[in-house]
């Protein structure tokens, strides 16, 4: 994908473990998961609102 192989990923994970420690990793992972979930939810809401606007415009033209 980005030229990152298994050795590079292992090195990155070891550096993260050294910086944050084992105890903070679940908190960081949970926070990242919540952030991604919120982003997906807001994207779905924006998509729904974008889809509703053309319908409103068509109804206004018919009236």
22-47 residue pLDDT tens: 888 889 889 999 999 999 999 888 88
Task: Give the whole-angstrom CA distance, residue 24 versus residue 62.
Answer: 58
- Residue 55, φ and ψ in degrees, nearest 5: -65, -40
pTM: 0.52
Query: What mean pLDDT do residues 46-59 have?
Result: 67
Which among 26, 6, 30 has a CA at the least distance from the CA of 17? 26
Q: Which percentage of the chain shows pLDDT scores above 90?
A: 27
């Amino acid at each position: 994908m980005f030229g990152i192989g298994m050795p590079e990923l292992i090195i990155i994970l070891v550096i993260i473990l050294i910086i944050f420690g084992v105890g903070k990793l679940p908190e960081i992972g949970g926070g990242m998961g919540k952030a991604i979930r919120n982003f997906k939810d807001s994207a779905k809401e924006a998509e729904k609102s974008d889809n509703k606007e053309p319908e409103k415009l068509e109804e206004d033209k018919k009236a």
